[in-house]
Amino acid sequence: MAAEQSPQALATPAGDTRIHNIGYRSYDGPRLGRSYARMSLYSQSLRGAYGLGRSAKSKVLPMLLFVVMCVPAAIMVAVAVATKAKELPLDYTRYAIVMQAVISLYVASQAPQSVSRDLRFKTVPLYFSRPIETGDYVRAKYAALASALFILTAAPLLVLYVGALLAELDFTDQTKGFAQGLVSVALLSLLFAGIGLVIASVTPRRGFGIAAVIAVLTISYGAVSTLQAIADVQGSGDAGILIGLFSPITLIDGVQSAFLGASSAFPGGVGPDRTEGILFVLVTLGLIVGSHALLMRRYKKVGL
């Protein structure tokens, strides 16, 4: 029917310009369905988290933060190579803890970018009128932001690792440390992405989203570290350790000091022991699963 349309020429209002309309062509090619659509949304969101495929302006912040994340690692490597040090100035597992402000800023800027825009411009119904379903949307967005965070946090570790090998440090030690660091930042990426997306998905206003994510991450960390310091001074170290359950970054710190051979940033450098560590792991996983569940609930209501 459509293909039988005879060619016709449309005159544009410009007059002598003619656009030759070859008629409507129907599409008989493959339709790759739900899983392909989910992958497309994932890759589009991941690229978007670094401003790719978006305006030049939106590339500035994520790229800048990426560079800020990597520069200290490059400097450490340079110093280690130049001074022929026996080990790197900073553990792999410690790097993300030290750079947490940059990570928080990245989450705060990109989580709202990823989900608030779709809500604000009401693009969500266009997704759900296609084969994908709520779960596909949530998982694609979650995975994309977690991957973007992983790139942000793992890239400097890679710089450190390559630098350490160039400086001819012990291969086994470095590889083990690097692997532990990767596990730690993977967990951190999942946790931060989940918290960031849950907060951002509540508001269609990007500004509110950014402010709320920063507030939650910094206030929780500020409160926890203050309380921990007080507990430390008063000599109730165990209580101090458990307070660490209440902020994302101290959670990660607790998990990695208990299981990933990291030195803790808790007061006095004393992190949770193995038993307490299990609690930290459970809370971390609970938060990740909980974030996912909350996102699912949030998007169930966003129909057309």
Partner 1 sequence: MDVTVIATESLSKRFPRVTALDRLSVDVGPGVTGLVGANGAGKSTLIKILLGLSPATEGRAEVLGLDVATEGAAIRERVGYMPEHDCLPPDVSATEFVVHMARMSGLPATAARERTADTLRHVGLYEERYRPIGGYSTGMKQRVKLAQALVHDPQLVFLDEPTNGLDPVGRDEMLGLIRRIHTDFGISVLVTSHLLGELERTCDHVVVVDGGKLLRSSSTRDFTQTTTTLAIEVTDTDEHPDGTRAVREALHARGVTVQDGSGLPGAGHILLLTAQGEDTYDLVRDVIADLGLGLVRMEQRRHQIAEVFTNDDDAQRKEAVGHGG
Instruction: List contacts with partner 1 (CB under 8 A).
Output: 1-2, 5, 19, 21, 23-27, 29-34, 36-37, 40-41, 44, 53-55, 58, 117-118, 121-123, 125-133, 303-304
Q: What is the DSSP string of the chain?
A: --TTPPPEEEE-TTSS-EEEE-------S---HHHHHHHHHHHHHHHHHTTTTS-HHHHHHHHHHHHHHHHHHHHHHHHHHHHT-SS-SS-HHHHHHHTHHHHHHHHHHHHHHHHHHHHHTT-HHHHHTSS--HHHHHHHHHHHHHHHHHHHHHHHHHHHHHHHHHTT--HHHHHHHHHHHHHHHHHHHHHHHHHHHHHHHH-S-HHHHHHHHHHHHHHHHHHHHHHHHHHHHTT-HHHHHHHGGGSHHHHHHHHHHHHS-PPP-SGGG----HHHHHHHHHHHHHHHHHHHHHHHHHHHH---
Q: Please report how close the Cβ of residue 296 comes to partner 1 at its closest, in angstroms.
A: 16
Q: Please report how close the Cβ of residue 28 comes to partner 1 at its closest, in angstroms.
A: 8
Q: Please report how close the Cβ of residue 26 comes to partner 1 at its closest, in angstroms.
A: 5
* Nearest to partner 1 of 50, 192 (CB atom): 50
* Nearest to partner 1 of 121, 171 (CB atom): 121
* Nearest to partner 1 of 132, 190 (CB atom): 132
Q: Please report how close the Cβ of residue 23 comes to partner 1 at its closest, in angstroms.
A: 7
Residue tagged 């997704």 (tokens) = 127
Q: Please report how close the Cβ of residue 133 comes to partner 1 at its closest, in angstroms.
A: 7
Instruction: Give every CB contact of residue 248 below 8 A, 6+ residues apart in sequence.
Output: 188, 191, 192, 195, 217, 220, 221, 287
Q: Please report how close the Cβ of residue 243 comes to partner 1 at its closest, in angstroms.
A: 42
* Nearest to partner 1 of 82, 304 (CB atom): 304
* Nearest to partner 1 of 123, 175 (CB atom): 123
Q: Please report how close the Cβ of residue 38 comes to partner 1 at its closest, in angstroms.
A: 9
* Nearest to partner 1 of 128, 259 (CB atom): 128
Could you give the C-alpha distances from 133 to 33, 139, 201, 263, 300, in angstroms and in order?
12, 10, 17, 43, 9
Q: Please report how close the Cβ of residue 61 comes to partner 1 at its closest, in angstroms.
A: 14
